[in-house]
Chains A and B, each alone.
Chain A
Protein backbone atom coordinates (compact mmCIF):
# COMPACT_ATOMS: atom_id res chain seq x y z
CA UNK A 1 0.00 0.00 0.00
CA UNK A 2 2.92 2.33 0.60
CA UNK A 3 3.10 3.28 -3.07
CA UNK A 4 -0.03 5.45 -2.86
CA UNK A 5 -0.15 8.54 -0.63
CA UNK A 6 -3.79 7.89 0.29
CA UNK A 7 -2.83 4.38 1.44
CA UNK A 8 0.01 5.70 3.58
CA UNK A 9 -2.32 8.30 5.06
CA UNK A 10 -4.97 5.75 6.00
CA UNK A 11 -2.58 3.30 7.68
CA UNK A 12 -2.82 4.67 11.26
CA UNK A 13 -6.62 4.55 10.99
CA UNK A 14 -6.36 1.03 9.63
CA UNK A 15 -4.36 -0.07 12.65
CA UNK A 16 -6.81 1.65 15.02
CA UNK A 17 -9.78 0.00 13.36
CA UNK A 18 -8.16 -3.44 13.52
CA UNK A 19 -7.43 -2.93 17.23
CA UNK A 20 -10.98 -1.73 17.86
CA UNK A 21 -9.69 1.64 19.10
CA UNK A 22 -10.96 3.81 16.26
CA UNK A 23 -13.68 6.42 16.50
CA UNK A 24 -16.61 6.52 14.11
CA UNK A 25 -14.91 8.98 11.75
CA UNK A 26 -11.83 6.77 11.33
CA UNK A 27 -14.01 3.71 10.81
CA UNK A 28 -15.86 5.60 8.06
CA UNK A 29 -12.61 6.65 6.38
CA UNK A 30 -11.24 3.10 6.48
CA UNK A 31 -14.45 1.57 5.16
CA UNK A 32 -14.53 4.01 2.27
CA UNK A 33 -10.88 3.38 1.48
CA UNK A 34 -10.87 -0.42 1.59
CA UNK A 35 -14.03 -0.58 -0.52
CA UNK A 36 -11.86 0.55 -3.42
CA UNK A 37 -8.36 -0.62 -2.37
CA UNK A 38 -7.77 -4.35 -2.39
CA UNK A 39 -4.30 -4.33 -0.86
CA UNK A 40 -5.39 -2.22 2.11
CA UNK A 41 -8.39 -4.51 2.54
CA UNK A 42 -5.98 -7.40 2.75
CA UNK A 43 -3.82 -5.59 5.24
CA UNK A 44 -6.81 -4.81 7.40
CA UNK A 45 -7.57 -8.51 7.42
CA UNK A 46 -4.02 -9.28 8.45
CA UNK A 47 -4.06 -6.75 11.26
CA UNK A 48 -7.36 -8.18 12.48
CA UNK A 49 -5.92 -11.68 12.42
CA UNK A 50 -2.91 -10.38 14.30
CA UNK A 51 -5.11 -8.78 16.96
CA UNK A 52 -6.94 -12.10 17.33
CA UNK A 53 -3.67 -13.93 17.72
CA UNK A 54 -2.47 -11.47 20.34
CA UNK A 55 -5.69 -11.87 22.28
CA UNK A 56 -5.04 -15.61 22.34
CA UNK A 57 -1.48 -15.09 23.53
CA UNK A 58 -2.70 -12.61 26.15
CA UNK A 59 -5.15 -15.13 27.59
CA UNK A 60 -2.87 -18.15 27.33
CA UNK A 61 -1.13 -19.20 30.54
CA UNK A 62 2.49 -18.05 30.68
CA UNK A 63 5.14 -20.60 31.50
CA UNK A 64 6.80 -19.82 34.83
CA UNK A 65 3.90 -17.60 35.90
CA UNK A 66 4.21 -18.35 39.61
CA UNK A 67 4.62 -15.33 41.85
CA UNK A 68 4.57 -17.23 45.16
CA UNK A 69 8.30 -17.18 45.76
CA UNK A 70 8.69 -13.55 44.72
CA UNK A 71 5.78 -12.54 46.97
CA UNK A 72 7.25 -14.29 49.99
CA UNK A 73 10.69 -12.75 49.41
CA UNK A 74 9.10 -9.35 48.86
CA UNK A 75 7.21 -9.59 52.17
CA UNK A 76 10.39 -10.21 54.14
CA UNK A 77 12.36 -7.53 52.28
CA UNK A 78 9.56 -5.01 52.89
CA UNK A 79 9.54 -5.85 56.60
CA UNK A 80 13.29 -5.32 56.71
CA UNK A 81 13.05 -2.06 54.79
CA UNK A 82 10.30 -0.77 57.07
CA UNK A 83 12.36 -1.38 60.17
CA UNK A 84 15.32 0.55 58.68
CA UNK A 85 13.45 3.27 56.90
CA UNK A 86 13.56 6.79 58.29
CA UNK A 87 10.84 9.33 57.65
CA UNK A 88 12.06 12.84 58.27
CA UNK A 89 10.85 16.41 58.44
CA UNK A 90 12.76 19.69 58.30
CA UNK A 91 11.38 22.73 60.07
CA UNK A 92 12.39 26.08 61.47
CA UNK A 93 13.09 26.39 65.19
CA UNK A 94 14.42 29.03 67.58
CA UNK A 95 17.84 27.40 66.97
CA UNK A 96 17.58 27.46 63.17
CA UNK A 97 16.42 24.72 60.78
CA UNK A 98 16.24 21.31 62.42
CA UNK A 99 15.74 17.86 60.93
CA UNK A 100 13.95 15.14 62.88
CA UNK A 101 13.94 11.57 61.56
CA UNK A 102 12.08 8.60 62.94
CA UNK A 103 12.09 4.91 62.11
CA UNK A 104 9.72 2.17 63.16
CA UNK A 105 11.70 1.80 66.41
CA UNK A 106 11.67 5.44 67.38
CA UNK A 107 13.33 8.78 66.87
CA UNK A 108 16.56 8.06 65.02
CA UNK A 109 17.96 11.46 64.21
CA UNK A 110 17.84 15.10 65.31
CA UNK A 111 20.21 17.38 63.40
CA UNK A 112 20.84 21.09 63.17
CA UNK A 113 20.97 22.18 59.55
CA UNK A 114 22.76 25.15 58.05
CA UNK A 115 20.58 28.14 57.23
CA UNK A 116 18.66 27.35 54.04
CA UNK A 117 17.86 23.87 55.26
CA UNK A 118 20.11 21.99 52.83
CA UNK A 119 21.25 18.53 53.85
CA UNK A 120 25.00 18.26 54.51
CA UNK A 121 26.63 15.02 53.33
CA UNK A 122 27.05 13.89 56.92
CA UNK A 123 23.32 14.16 57.58
CA UNK A 124 22.53 12.35 54.33
CA UNK A 125 24.83 9.56 55.41
CA UNK A 126 23.10 9.31 58.77
CA UNK A 127 19.69 9.24 57.09
CA UNK A 128 20.70 6.41 54.76
CA UNK A 129 19.40 5.88 51.26
CA UNK A 130 15.99 4.68 52.41
CA UNK A 131 15.01 7.94 54.07
CA UNK A 132 11.92 9.71 52.82
CA UNK A 133 10.61 13.14 53.66
CA UNK A 134 7.49 12.55 55.72
CA UNK A 135 6.43 15.63 57.63
CA UNK A 136 3.34 13.93 59.00
CA UNK A 137 5.43 11.31 60.78
CA UNK A 138 7.44 13.98 62.58
CA UNK A 139 4.87 16.72 63.10
CA UNK A 140 4.06 15.67 66.69
CA UNK A 141 7.77 15.53 67.52
CA UNK A 142 8.31 18.94 65.97
CA UNK A 143 5.62 20.50 68.14
CA UNK A 144 7.08 18.98 71.32
CA UNK A 145 10.60 20.02 70.43
CA UNK A 146 9.56 23.61 69.86
CA UNK A 147 7.78 23.61 73.25
CA UNK A 148 10.99 22.30 74.77
CA UNK A 149 13.14 24.95 73.13
CA UNK A 150 10.78 27.65 74.33
CA UNK A 151 11.01 26.39 77.92
CA UNK A 152 7.40 25.18 78.01
CA UNK A 153 8.33 21.49 78.31
CA UNK A 154 11.06 19.80 80.35
CA UNK A 155 10.91 16.24 79.00
CA UNK A 156 11.00 14.65 75.58
CA UNK A 157 9.73 11.16 76.34
CA UNK A 158 10.39 9.79 72.89
CA UNK A 159 11.10 6.19 72.00
CA UNK A 160 14.59 6.25 70.53
CA UNK A 161 16.15 4.24 67.72
CA UNK A 162 19.82 3.96 68.70
CA UNK A 163 20.71 2.10 65.51
CA UNK A 164 22.97 4.91 64.32
CA UNK A 165 25.52 4.59 67.10
CA UNK A 166 29.10 4.40 65.91
CA UNK A 167 30.19 1.96 68.62
CA UNK A 168 29.22 0.26 71.85
CA UNK A 169 31.34 2.87 73.63
CA UNK A 170 29.32 5.68 72.11
CA UNK A 171 26.14 3.96 73.17
CA UNK A 172 27.35 3.83 76.79
CA UNK A 173 28.37 7.50 76.69
CA UNK A 174 25.04 8.57 75.27
CA UNK A 175 23.08 6.46 77.73
CA UNK A 176 24.95 8.09 80.64
CA UNK A 177 24.30 11.49 79.08
CA UNK A 178 20.61 10.73 78.60
CA UNK A 179 20.41 10.11 82.36
CA UNK A 180 21.44 13.72 83.16
CA UNK A 181 18.39 15.49 84.58
CA UNK A 182 16.91 18.62 83.04
CA UNK A 183 18.83 21.66 84.17
CA UNK A 184 21.84 19.64 85.40
CA UNK A 185 25.40 20.03 84.13
CA UNK A 186 28.41 17.80 84.42
CA UNK A 187 31.78 17.50 82.70
CA UNK A 188 33.20 15.18 80.04
CA UNK A 189 35.36 13.70 82.79
CA UNK A 190 32.22 13.26 84.86
CA UNK A 191 30.61 11.18 82.10
CA UNK A 192 33.85 9.19 81.68
CA UNK A 193 33.73 8.40 85.41
CA UNK A 194 30.07 7.41 85.21
CA UNK A 195 30.70 4.81 82.53
CA UNK A 196 33.67 3.39 84.44
CA UNK A 197 36.30 4.75 82.04
CA UNK A 198 37.68 7.76 83.96
CA UNK A 199 40.66 8.25 81.67
CA UNK A 200 38.59 8.26 78.45
CA UNK A 201 37.75 11.97 78.59
CA UNK A 202 38.63 12.72 74.95
CA UNK A 203 36.85 9.65 73.58
CA UNK A 204 33.78 10.74 75.57
CA UNK A 205 33.97 14.19 73.97
CA UNK A 206 34.27 12.57 70.53
CA UNK A 207 31.34 10.26 71.20
CA UNK A 208 29.22 13.27 72.15
CA UNK A 209 30.42 15.20 69.14
CA UNK A 210 28.82 12.55 66.91
CA UNK A 211 25.61 12.41 68.93
CA UNK A 212 22.89 11.63 66.34
CA UNK A 213 20.21 12.88 68.73
CA UNK A 214 21.29 16.23 70.21
CA UNK A 215 18.77 17.97 72.50
CA UNK A 216 16.98 14.61 73.05
CA UNK A 217 20.20 13.07 74.35
CA UNK A 218 21.31 16.22 76.17
CA UNK A 219 24.99 16.47 75.27
CA UNK A 220 24.62 20.21 75.84
CA UNK A 221 24.63 19.40 79.59
CA UNK A 222 28.21 18.14 79.34
CA UNK A 223 30.93 20.79 79.57
CA UNK A 224 34.67 21.11 80.12
CA UNK A 225 36.16 20.56 83.58
CA UNK A 226 37.11 24.24 83.62
CA UNK A 227 33.44 25.16 83.31
CA UNK A 228 33.85 26.29 79.70
CA UNK A 229 31.14 25.01 77.35
CA UNK A 230 34.00 24.07 74.90
CA UNK A 231 32.02 23.20 71.79
CA UNK A 232 28.73 22.22 70.23
CA UNK A 233 27.31 21.34 66.81
CA UNK A 234 30.56 22.15 65.06
CA UNK A 235 31.37 25.73 66.01
CA UNK A 236 27.96 26.73 67.29
CA UNK A 237 28.65 26.88 71.01
CA UNK A 238 26.07 29.68 71.27
CA UNK A 239 23.37 27.05 70.72
CA UNK A 240 24.65 25.18 73.76
CA UNK A 241 24.53 28.37 75.79
CA UNK A 242 20.93 29.01 74.71
CA UNK A 243 19.82 25.45 75.50
CA UNK A 244 21.40 25.70 78.95
CA UNK A 245 19.84 29.13 79.55
CA UNK A 246 16.39 27.66 78.77
CA UNK A 247 17.07 25.11 81.52
CA UNK A 248 18.13 27.79 84.01
CA UNK A 249 21.90 27.31 83.79
CA UNK A 250 23.75 30.62 84.14
CA UNK A 251 26.76 31.26 81.97
CA UNK A 252 29.14 34.14 81.44
CA UNK A 253 30.82 35.04 78.16
CA UNK A 254 34.52 34.15 78.00
CA UNK A 255 36.62 34.72 74.86
CA UNK A 256 34.85 32.90 71.96
CA UNK A 257 33.14 30.67 74.49
CA UNK A 258 30.92 30.73 77.55
CA UNK A 259 31.64 29.53 81.04
CA UNK A 260 29.23 28.11 83.57
CA UNK A 261 29.26 30.35 86.62
CA UNK A 262 29.91 27.79 89.34
CA UNK A 263 29.25 30.30 92.11
CA UNK A 264 25.73 30.72 90.79
CA UNK A 265 25.02 26.98 90.59
CA UNK A 266 23.70 24.57 93.18
CA UNK A 267 26.26 21.81 93.48
CA UNK A 268 26.16 18.12 94.30
CA UNK A 269 28.83 15.44 94.54
CA UNK A 270 27.87 12.96 91.82
CA UNK A 271 26.34 9.90 93.41
CA UNK A 272 25.18 11.80 96.48
CA UNK A 273 21.50 12.49 97.19
CA UNK A 274 21.69 16.02 98.57
CA UNK A 275 22.50 19.24 96.77
CA UNK A 276 24.27 22.21 98.30
CA UNK A 277 25.05 25.85 97.77
CA UNK A 278 28.43 26.07 96.00
CA UNK A 279 30.12 27.44 99.10
CA UNK A 280 29.26 24.39 101.20
CA UNK A 281 32.46 22.80 102.54
CA UNK A 282 35.22 22.67 99.93
CA UNK A 283 32.90 22.21 96.91
CA UNK A 284 34.21 25.25 95.00
CA UNK A 285 37.74 23.88 94.96
CA UNK A 286 36.71 20.38 93.78
CA UNK A 287 37.09 19.34 90.18
CA UNK A 288 33.92 19.43 88.15
CA UNK A 289 34.59 15.82 87.17
CA UNK A 290 33.10 14.63 90.46
CA UNK A 291 30.23 17.12 90.56
CA UNK A 292 26.81 17.75 89.11
CA UNK A 293 25.57 21.34 88.95
CA UNK A 294 21.99 22.65 88.90
CA UNK A 295 20.86 26.10 87.80
CA UNK A 296 17.87 26.19 90.16
CA UNK A 297 16.65 24.37 93.26
CA UNK A 298 13.53 23.38 91.38
CA UNK A 299 15.40 21.32 88.79
CA UNK A 300 17.52 19.67 91.51
CA UNK A 301 14.43 18.71 93.46
CA UNK A 302 12.52 17.67 90.35
CA UNK A 303 15.41 15.27 89.70
CA UNK A 304 14.80 13.73 93.14
CA UNK A 305 17.51 15.38 95.21
CA UNK A 306 17.07 16.90 98.69
CA UNK A 307 18.56 20.09 100.10
CA UNK A 308 21.72 19.56 102.13
CA UNK A 309 20.96 19.51 105.87
CA UNK A 310 24.05 21.52 106.82
CA UNK A 311 24.20 24.36 104.20
CA UNK A 312 20.37 24.42 103.83
CA UNK A 313 19.97 25.76 100.28
CA UNK A 314 16.23 25.70 100.95
CA UNK A 315 16.67 28.33 103.69
CA UNK A 316 19.56 30.21 102.07
CA UNK A 317 18.95 30.10 98.34
CA UNK A 318 21.34 31.64 95.85
CA UNK A 319 20.34 35.07 94.55
CA UNK A 320 18.18 34.53 91.48
Chain B
Protein backbone atom coordinates (compact mmCIF):
# COMPACT_ATOMS: atom_id res chain seq x y z
CA UNK B 1 0.00 0.00 0.00
CA UNK B 2 0.94 3.64 -0.40
CA UNK B 3 2.19 3.98 3.14
CA UNK B 4 5.03 1.48 2.66
CA UNK B 5 6.28 3.37 -0.35
CA UNK B 6 6.14 6.62 1.58
CA UNK B 7 8.26 5.04 4.31
CA UNK B 8 10.89 3.83 1.88
CA UNK B 9 11.01 7.28 0.36
CA UNK B 10 11.50 8.73 3.81
CA UNK B 11 14.41 6.39 4.47
CA UNK B 12 16.01 7.92 1.41
CA UNK B 13 15.35 11.42 2.77
CA UNK B 14 17.08 10.53 6.03
CA UNK B 15 20.02 9.04 4.15
CA UNK B 16 20.40 12.07 1.93
CA UNK B 17 20.00 14.87 4.46
CA UNK B 18 20.49 13.79 8.05
CA UNK B 19 24.26 14.35 8.18
CA UNK B 20 23.98 17.86 6.75
CA UNK B 21 21.07 18.86 8.98
CA UNK B 22 22.99 17.63 12.00
CA UNK B 23 26.03 19.65 10.86
CA UNK B 24 23.83 22.75 10.53
CA UNK B 25 22.45 22.20 14.02
CA UNK B 26 25.95 21.62 15.32
CA UNK B 27 26.99 24.97 13.85
CA UNK B 28 24.08 26.84 15.36
CA UNK B 29 24.08 25.14 18.79
CA UNK B 30 27.84 24.44 19.08
CA UNK B 31 27.04 21.24 20.99
CA UNK B 32 27.12 17.68 19.67
CA UNK B 33 24.44 16.47 22.06
CA UNK B 34 22.07 19.29 21.06
CA UNK B 35 22.73 18.55 17.40
CA UNK B 36 21.96 14.87 18.05
CA UNK B 37 18.65 15.65 19.78
CA UNK B 38 17.48 18.38 17.44
CA UNK B 39 18.41 16.48 14.29
CA UNK B 40 16.33 13.52 15.47
CA UNK B 41 13.45 15.81 16.34
CA UNK B 42 13.71 17.46 12.92
CA UNK B 43 13.30 14.14 11.13
CA UNK B 44 10.55 12.88 13.44
CA UNK B 45 8.59 16.04 12.66
CA UNK B 46 9.37 15.68 9.00
CA UNK B 47 8.15 12.10 9.03
CA UNK B 48 4.81 13.14 10.51
CA UNK B 49 4.30 15.71 7.80
CA UNK B 50 6.05 13.96 4.92
CA UNK B 51 2.90 12.34 3.58
CA UNK B 52 1.20 15.68 3.03
CA UNK B 53 4.25 17.36 1.50
CA UNK B 54 3.34 18.31 -2.06
CA UNK B 55 5.12 16.28 -4.72
CA UNK B 56 8.14 18.09 -6.09
CA UNK B 57 8.65 20.10 -2.88
CA UNK B 58 12.19 21.15 -2.02
CA UNK B 59 12.83 18.61 0.71
CA UNK B 60 16.25 19.94 1.72
CA UNK B 61 14.98 23.49 2.20
CA UNK B 62 11.94 22.14 4.06
CA UNK B 63 14.20 20.22 6.45
CA UNK B 64 16.28 23.36 7.05
CA UNK B 65 13.05 25.18 7.90
CA UNK B 66 12.07 22.56 10.47
CA UNK B 67 15.59 22.48 11.92
CA UNK B 68 15.70 26.29 12.06
CA UNK B 69 12.40 26.45 13.95
CA UNK B 70 13.54 23.80 16.39
CA UNK B 71 16.85 25.60 16.81
CA UNK B 72 15.12 28.90 17.55
CA UNK B 73 12.78 27.28 20.09
CA UNK B 74 15.82 25.67 21.64
CA UNK B 75 17.60 29.04 21.91
CA UNK B 76 14.55 30.62 23.46
CA UNK B 77 14.39 27.89 26.07
CA UNK B 78 18.10 27.80 26.73
CA UNK B 79 19.24 31.26 25.71
CA UNK B 80 21.33 31.99 28.74
CA UNK B 81 22.87 28.56 28.93
CA UNK B 82 23.83 28.56 25.27
CA UNK B 83 25.67 31.83 25.61
CA UNK B 84 27.48 30.48 28.65
CA UNK B 85 28.59 27.40 26.72
CA UNK B 86 29.73 29.44 23.77
CA UNK B 87 31.76 31.69 26.02
CA UNK B 88 33.29 28.71 27.80
CA UNK B 89 34.15 27.03 24.50
CA UNK B 90 35.95 30.18 23.42
CA UNK B 91 37.83 30.49 26.70
CA UNK B 92 39.00 26.90 26.59
CA UNK B 93 40.52 27.19 23.14
CA UNK B 94 44.19 26.40 23.64
CA UNK B 95 46.70 29.09 22.72
CA UNK B 96 47.98 28.72 19.21
CA UNK B 97 51.30 26.87 19.29
CA UNK B 98 54.32 28.29 17.52
CA UNK B 99 53.46 28.56 13.90
CA UNK B 100 54.24 30.76 10.98
CA UNK B 101 52.85 34.24 11.54
CA UNK B 102 50.36 34.01 8.69
CA UNK B 103 48.93 30.77 10.05
CA UNK B 104 48.52 32.19 13.53
CA UNK B 105 46.83 35.22 12.04
CA UNK B 106 44.41 33.03 10.07
CA UNK B 107 43.68 30.90 13.12
CA UNK B 108 43.03 33.99 15.19
CA UNK B 109 40.82 35.42 12.49
CA UNK B 110 38.79 32.23 12.37
CA UNK B 111 38.35 32.23 16.14
CA UNK B 112 37.21 35.83 15.93
CA UNK B 113 34.88 34.94 13.08
CA UNK B 114 33.22 32.24 15.17
CA UNK B 115 32.92 34.55 18.15
CA UNK B 116 31.36 37.32 16.08
CA UNK B 117 28.90 34.87 14.54
CA UNK B 118 27.94 33.58 17.99
CA UNK B 119 27.19 37.12 19.08
CA UNK B 120 24.96 38.01 16.12
CA UNK B 121 21.20 38.40 16.54
CA UNK B 122 19.50 35.05 15.94
CA UNK B 123 18.03 35.74 12.50
CA UNK B 124 21.26 37.22 11.16
CA UNK B 125 23.27 34.34 12.55
CA UNK B 126 20.97 31.66 11.14
CA UNK B 127 20.71 33.38 7.78
CA UNK B 128 24.48 33.80 7.66
CA UNK B 129 25.15 30.13 8.50
CA UNK B 130 22.55 28.88 6.04
CA UNK B 131 23.99 31.04 3.28
CA UNK B 132 27.71 30.90 3.90
CA UNK B 133 28.10 27.40 5.38
CA UNK B 134 25.30 25.52 3.60
CA UNK B 135 24.89 27.67 0.49
CA UNK B 136 21.09 27.84 0.59
CA UNK B 137 19.28 30.21 -1.74
CA UNK B 138 17.97 33.45 -0.22
CA UNK B 139 14.42 32.34 -1.02
CA UNK B 140 15.01 29.13 0.96
CA UNK B 141 16.49 31.08 3.85
CA UNK B 142 13.49 33.42 3.75
CA UNK B 143 11.14 30.42 3.97
CA UNK B 144 13.10 29.07 6.94
CA UNK B 145 12.95 32.36 8.82
CA UNK B 146 9.39 33.23 7.77
CA UNK B 147 10.53 36.34 5.99
CA UNK B 148 10.91 37.53 2.41
CA UNK B 149 13.81 36.72 0.16
CA UNK B 150 14.88 40.38 0.42
CA UNK B 151 14.85 40.28 4.21
CA UNK B 152 16.87 37.07 4.14
CA UNK B 153 19.47 38.77 1.94
CA UNK B 154 19.43 41.80 4.25
CA UNK B 155 20.05 39.56 7.28
CA UNK B 156 23.05 37.96 5.58
CA UNK B 157 24.42 41.36 4.51
CA UNK B 158 23.96 42.81 8.00
CA UNK B 159 25.84 39.84 9.40
CA UNK B 160 28.60 40.27 6.82
CA UNK B 161 28.98 43.96 7.68
CA UNK B 162 29.30 43.22 11.37
CA UNK B 163 31.73 40.39 10.77
CA UNK B 164 33.89 42.53 8.52
CA UNK B 165 33.92 45.39 10.98
CA UNK B 166 34.82 43.17 13.87
CA UNK B 167 37.62 41.55 11.87
CA UNK B 168 39.03 44.86 10.73
CA UNK B 169 42.78 44.48 11.02
CA UNK B 170 42.53 40.68 11.24
CA UNK B 171 41.63 39.90 7.68
CA UNK B 172 44.46 38.25 5.75
CA UNK B 173 46.30 39.21 2.58
CA UNK B 174 43.85 41.16 0.45
CA UNK B 175 43.48 43.87 3.07
CA UNK B 176 47.21 44.50 2.78
CA UNK B 177 46.74 45.89 -0.71
CA UNK B 178 45.46 49.21 0.54
CA UNK B 179 46.02 51.96 -1.84
- Chain A positions within 8 Å of B, measured between CB atoms, are 11-12, 15, 38, 41-43, 45-50, 52-54, 56-58, 62, 64-67, 69-71, 73-74, 77-78, 81-82, 85, 87, 130, 132-134, 136-137
Residue A46 contacts which of B19, B47, B48, B174 (CB distance < 8 angstroms)? B174
- Chain A binding site: helix, strand, loop or mixed by DSSP? helix
**Stretch from B37-45, B67-75, B139-147 forming part of the interface with A:** B37-45
Verify B113–A57 contact, CB threshold 8 A.
yes
Report Cα–Cα, A225/B113, bound state, in Å: 81
Residue A64 contacts which of B19, B35, B172 (CB distance < 8 angstroms)? B35
**Stretch from B76-84, B94-102, B119-127, B160-168 forming part of the interface with A:** B160-168
Verify A78–B167 contact, CB threshold 8 A.
no
> Within 8 Å of chain A (Cβ to Cβ): is B133?
yes
> Within 8 Å of chain A (Cβ to Cβ): is B136?
no
- Chain B positions within 8 Å of A, measured between CB atoms, are 1-3, 7, 10, 14, 18-19, 22-23, 26-27, 31-32, 35-37, 39-40, 43-44, 47-49, 51-52, 106, 109-110, 113, 132-133, 135, 157, 160-161, 163-164, 167-168, 171-175, 177-179
Verify B133–A70 contact, CB threshold 8 A.
no
Verify B44–A78 contact, CB threshold 8 A.
yes
Verify B177–A45 contact, CB threshold 8 A.
yes
Verify A82–B7 contact, CB threshold 8 A.
yes
Verify B2–A42 contact, CB threshold 8 A.
no
Which residues of A sit under 8 angstroms from B14, Cβ to Cβ?
71, 74, 78
Shortest Cβ-Cβ A-B pairs, 8 listed: A64-B32, A45-B174, A70-B36, A49-B174, A49-B171, A74-B40, A67-B22, A54-B132
Verify A42–B160 contact, CB threshold 8 A.
no
Report Cα–Cα, A85/B175, bound state, in Å: 58
Report Cα–Cα, A111/B2, bound state, in Å: 23
Which residues of B sit under 8 angstroms from A67, Cβ to Cβ?
18-19, 22, 39
Verify A132–B51 contact, CB threshold 8 A.
yes
Q: Which of A67, A85, A87 has the most CB of B within 10 A?
A: A67
A18 → chain B, closest Cβ, in Å? 8
Report Cα–Cα, A134/B10, bound state, in Å: 16
Verify B22–A15 contact, CB threshold 8 A.
no
Verify A81–B35 contact, CB threshold 8 A.
no
Which residues of A sit under 8 angstroms from B43, Cβ to Cβ?
74, 78
Residue B3 contacts which of A47, A70, A130, A137 (CB distance < 8 angstroms)? A137
Verify A46–B171 contact, CB threshold 8 A.
yes
Verify A45–B26 contact, CB threshold 8 A.
no
Which residues of A sit under 8 angstroms from B10, Cβ to Cβ?
78
Given A57-B133, A70-B36, A134 and B51 touching (CB < 8 A)?
Answer: yes
Residue A58 contacts which of B133, B157, B179 (CB distance < 8 angstroms)? B133
